[in-house]
A = this chain, B = another copy of it.
Amino acid sequence: MFEDQTGAVFDGVKRVFVGRPLHSDRMEGTLLPKRVALAVFCSDPISSVAYATEQILLVLAAGGLVALATAPWVALAVILLLVTVVASYRQTCYAYPNGGGAYVVSRENLGESASLAAAAALLVDYVMTVAVSVTSGVVAVTSAIPALSPHAVIIAVGLILVLTVANLRGTRESGRVFAVPTYAFVGLTLLMFLWAGVEAVTGGVPEAVTAANPLPDPGELSSLALLVLVVRAFASGCTALTGVEAISNGVPSFERPKARNAATTLAMMGGIAVVLFGGITVLAVALHAQALPDGNPSVISQIAAAVFGGSSVVFYLFQAATAAILILAANTAFNGFPGLASILARDSYLPRQLHNRGDRLVFSNGVVLLAGAAAALIIGFDANIDRLIQLYIVGVFTSFTLSQFGMVKHWQTLLRQHRDPAVAQTEVAGIGGGSRRSMRRSQAINAIGAVFTAVVLVVVFATKVTHGAWIAVAAMIVLFIAMRSINRYYTRVTIEVAADDEELQTLPSRVHALVLVSRLHRPAMQALALARGMRPDVISAVTLAVDADETRLLRQEWESRSIPVQLTMLEAPYRDPIRPLISYVKDLRRANPRTVIMVFIPEYVVTHWWQQLLHNQSALRFKARLLFTPGVVVVSVPYHLGVAEDSWLGRRHREPESDPL
């Protein structure tokens, strides 16, 4: 059984990297406690502090000192937005304990089109999260070790491979692996703030390495130009908000009580992100760190080098932690994307295969698809973080906006139901919880979130669409159309294949068994015996006359052995046996349209793969072509060479040689 052999080798390799299969019962075992969930779901928004400040400074630098002075205010605006969005999404966690991603919320409250738009936005954004975070993680490495810069693409793709394998092993384990670096980054950043504070008090912090770089002199800056710069800087700073979605989508992965734990984790994440982002921005301004166009060394690494000393062990530790958390941010998407794709597949918007859980209870196909798309982006953009980041947040804010508006509608519906006394006590308490007053409060929070994010979406789209965001927008549109078409296809198929009661009783009116014979050997006899044993309405044997001598021999033997089945010779003047058979079968069908034609194909099955080379592969070719011929059923009758005792016909190999009969 060579198929079993190669299968075993593949299985062995897979087991080493992915682990042994997990029983479906172990689904519950993969639930996450808050401290692990924080690492799994929140590394994305937390890690984005590693580049959000830099993106603000990069835009403002064009406006010279005057513009740069607005940096703290821009950062404050981003923080306010972050707080609003976090508050808004906490409502979602409570309202949708089974997972309230933008797709689910939009579908329930805004209809199919909005939900597909949200889904498309999220899918694109998950891919961008992986591409941007991994690339940024590689920048953290190359900031510390510049010699690695030329190999950025290879390193990034390698990291995606590691993430893929880790995630194919399953959520629980990846959570454990990834908890340490997240907390290391948070801890080291806080240590950096403390260290800087102590230095400031004791004798001052040295300035950043780029502090003395000349700033561009934009001349007299008009108020309008300054405003445009500030708005663009704000749009760039909004990268700090990516990934908030992941928690509300991942509520079912939390330990019980799921909703409350998720909401608490979201708040913790918000607090951490605000502190880190604020602190880094303050330090960047204080140390006069400048963002460099190629992002190398990064602003955050300049700060760390200034505070810790550029060749200290702590500096290298800090860089390592930065790289690590950025790679974990990519991991957030490895949790989110396959889950969303699975829901979309369940709802018939994506191919069914994305709904299957693999050996290790993860949606393996989604994991592989995400990794492939992200790797392609990194290769396509040559691991250039500045160009990649332009594609990033259009999707985020599309889904934010749709999700928040959906929540507003959600509370509206609940409030209307609440007015109806019949459902007031039972349903509402179960779903959203709380009184009319708390519902109104939630609705208000979501409304503020919705308006804020809608405005930001317009700003982001306007400032970034010509800088590459159009690619993300185009991808979203393509996905949107594809999902609609796939849904229409599945619906059509479902209607087409639905069986009615009458059909359940229908039997085929007439069966014609056709046995392919090339020589009178046991494989052919087996197929012939099986066909005869089935007692079809008509039975005939067919041979393809490719070689005149062999055909003559077959006919002679057939007649001399008086086999009770008629043998039909099909001429194959061009020596291709497939076409004559197909047209013969089609002719039969045309003559008797209600007859099912069962083609019995004797087939050698060999023990070793190389033996396959020694047999014509015509059975395979016949099978492939007949599958596409309507009204034909193919019966593959295998003859296992070398294990003749397993054949049901004869089995003389088992009979003792001394048997007198």
Q: Which A positions have Cβ atoms within 8 angstroms of B? A: 1, 3-4, 21-25, 351-353, 356-359, 486, 489-490, 493-494, 496-504, 506-509, 511, 520-525, 529-530, 532-536, 546, 548, 561, 563, 573-576, 594-596, 598, 603-605, 611, 613-616, 623-625, 627-628, 630-644, 646-650, 652
Please give me the 3 A-B residue pairs with the lowest Cβ-Cβ distance, nearest first.
A630-B646, A497-B521, A21-B574
- Given contacts A530-B633, A649-B506, whether A352 and B615 have CB atoms under 8 Å apart is yes
Contact partners of A489 in chain B: CB under 8 A: 611, 614
Determine the distance from Cα of A172 to Cα of B103 in the docked complex, in whole angstroms: 68
**Is the Cβ of B574 less than 8 Å from the Cβ of A603?**
no
**Is the Cβ of A625 less than 8 Å from the Cβ of B3?**
yes
Contact partners of A351 in chain B: CB under 8 A: 613-614
**Is the Cβ of A576 less than 8 Å from the Cβ of B21?**
yes
Contact partners of A21 in chain B: CB under 8 A: 574-576
Distance to closest chain B CB from A518 (angstroms): 11
Copies of the chain in the assembly: 2
Contact partners of A532 in chain B: CB under 8 A: 507
**Is the Cβ of A633 less than 8 Å from the Cβ of B641?**
no
Q: Which of B502, B611, B634, B638 contacts A627 (CB 8 A)?
A: B638
Determine the distance from Cα of A632 to Cα of B529 in the docked complex, in whole angstroms: 14
**Is the Cβ of A563 less than 8 Å from the Cβ of B504?**
yes
**Is the Cβ of A575 less than 8 Å from the Cβ of B628?**
no
**Is the Cβ of A648 less than 8 Å from the Cβ of B596?**
yes
Determine the distance from Cα of A502 to Cα of B633 in the docked complex, in whole angstroms: 29
Determine the distance from Cα of A465 to Cα of B642 in the docked complex, in whole angstroms: 41
Determine the distance from Cα of A640 to Cα of B615 in the docked complex, in whole angstroms: 31
**Is the Cβ of B630 less than 8 Å from the Cβ of A640?**
yes
Contact partners of A536 in chain B: CB under 8 A: 534
Determine the distance from Cα of A23 to Cα of B546 in the docked complex, in whole angstroms: 11
Contact partners of A634 in chain B: CB under 8 A: 635-636
Determine the distance from Cα of A604 to Cα of B643 in the docked complex, in whole angstroms: 33
- Given contacts A636-B623, A644-B496, whether A533 and B504 have CB atoms under 8 Å apart is no
CB-based nearest B residue for A593: B648
Contact partners of A633 in chain B: CB under 8 A: 530, 635-638
Distance to closest chain B CB from A498 (angstroms): 6
Determine the distance from Cα of A134 to Cα of B568 in the docked complex, in whole angstroms: 48
**Is the Cβ of A522 less than 8 Å from the Cβ of B498?**
yes
**Is the Cβ of B497 less than 8 Å from the Cβ of A639?**
yes
Distance to closest chain B CB from A169 (angstroms): 15
**Is the Cβ of B523 less than 8 Å from the Cβ of A497?**
yes
CB-based nearest B residue for A634: B636
CB-based nearest B residue for A352: B616
Determine the distance from Cα of A622 to Cα of B359 in the docked complex, in whole angstroms: 18
- Given contacts A498-B522, A522-B503, whether A575 and B24 have CB atoms under 8 Å apart is yes
